[in-house]
């Protein structure tokens, strides 16, 4: 499956508006957030002709691996070489069942392997931040899809998973040249993730402090995690991830609705 260098990330709940534009502009893949099921991914494949679609990510607490494998087989028969199964453990605040995340992910991979037919290793990837989950992603899948990270984490992820494995970070961006307005939108988005321990622990591992995490995030943190400015300035931030070892960067434009077509166009001009 060819997903190119630059993709788009958007919540599946935002619907199908603008999806054809993502394809026609030349983005390499569409990543669906908001913990989609495979059934919820299907309309995006049906609406487009050639655009690869990935789940970013399917939450393993909400699904049984045998069911996922059966749906994966159905989707890939209908849309050959266009669907990538991204799975992830989510975060402790999202489920009362959260326990032994590494073992749970390993068991889910076991279930995908044991299904008839199984989900091929090169048709699945895993969300991962910490070293042990990155190791598991490299061992059991195509690679990793980190979220809410910096180029420093991308470099770490590349070193950890090694050559030949996919590193495809999500990068939220604000296409807005008014710095204060852009930071306001970035902070509104970041507020959720600064309240989730898996993301805050990861930021602390990469040079940020408790002070950076407080009060909605310091300017230093917000600017590093959510690049903003002109599309050309954002392109420089994206290249920092690519230079750090990313194969593919999926961009999540913020602040202009669920289908920000003007942002897609501006980013395509700057990056494609």
**What CA dihedral angle connects 157, 121, 87 and 144, to 10 degrees?**
10
What is residue 251's predicted lDDT score, i.e. its pLDDT? 98
Domain assignment present for 210: no
What is residue 96's predicted lDDT score, i.e. its pLDDT? 62
Domains in the chain, number? 1
Domain assignment present for 87: yes
Domain assignment present for 264: yes
What sign results for the dihedral spanned by CA atoms 243, 3, 234, 128?
A: negative
Enclosing domain of residue 82: 6-169+247-271
Pairing mode, if any, of strands 83-88 and 58-59?
Answer: parallel
Each residue's pLDDT, cut to its tens digit, for the chain (272 residues) gives: 999 999 999 999 999 999 999 999 999 999 999 999 999 999 999 999 999 999 999 999 999 999 999 999 999 999 999 999 999 998 777 766 778 999 999 999 999 999 999 999 999 999 999 999 999 999 999 999 999 999 999 999 999 999 999 999 999 999 999 999 999 999 999 999 999 999 999 999 999 999 999 999 999 999 999 999 999 999 999 999 999 999 999 999 999 999 999 999 999 999 99
Task: Give the tokens for residue 173.
Answer: 């961006």
Domain assignment present for 211: no
Is the separation of the CB atoms in 202 and 130 below 8 Å?
A: yes
Upstream peptide bond of 117 is cis (omega within 30 degrees of 0): yes
A 10 A CB-CB count for 121 gives 14
Domain assignment present for 1: no
Domain assignment present for 146: yes
Domain assignment present for 185: no
Query: 3-class secondary structure for 196-240?
Result: CHHHHHHHHHCCCCHHHHCCCCCHHHHHHHCCEECHHHHHHHHHH
Domain assignment present for 252: yes
What is residue 217's predicted lDDT score, i.e. its pLDDT? 98
**CATH number of 125's domain:** 3.20.20.30
Local structure of residue 120 (DSSP, 8 states): P
């Amino acid at each position: 499956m060819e997903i190119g260098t630059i993709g788009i990330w958007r919540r599946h709940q935002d619907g199908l508006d603008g999806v054809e534009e993502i394809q026609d502009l030349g983005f390499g893949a569409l990543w669906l957030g908001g913990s989609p099921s495979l059934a919820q991914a299907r309309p995006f494949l049906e609406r487009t002709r050639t655009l690869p679609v990935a789940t970013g990510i399917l939450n393993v607490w909400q699904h049984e691996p045998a069911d996922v494998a059966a749906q994966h087989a159905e989707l890939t028969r209908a849309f050959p070489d266009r669907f990538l199964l991204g799975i992830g453990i989510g975060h402790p605040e999202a489920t009362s069942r959260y326990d032994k995340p590494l073992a749970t992910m390993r068991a889910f991979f076991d279930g995908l392997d044991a299904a008839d037919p199984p989900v091929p290793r090169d048709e699945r990837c895993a969300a991962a931040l910490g070293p042990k989950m990155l190791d598991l992603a490299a061992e059991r899948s195509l690679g990793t899809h980190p979220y809410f990270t910096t180029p420093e984490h991308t470099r770490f992820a590349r070193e950890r998973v090694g050559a030949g494995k996919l590193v495809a970070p999500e990068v939220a961006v604000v296409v807005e040249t008014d710095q204060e307005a852009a930071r306001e939108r970035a902070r509104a988005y970041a507020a959720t993730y600064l309240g989730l321990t898996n993301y805050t622990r990861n930021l602390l591992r990469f040079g940020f402090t408790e002070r950076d995490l407080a009060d909605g995030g310091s300017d230093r943190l917000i600017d590093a995690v959510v690049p903003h400015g002109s599309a050309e300035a954002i392109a420089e931030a994206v290249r920092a991830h690519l230079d750090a070892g990313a194969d593919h960067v999926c961009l999540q434009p913020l602040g202009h609705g669920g289908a920000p077509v003007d942002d897609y166009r501006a980013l395509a001009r700057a990056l494609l």
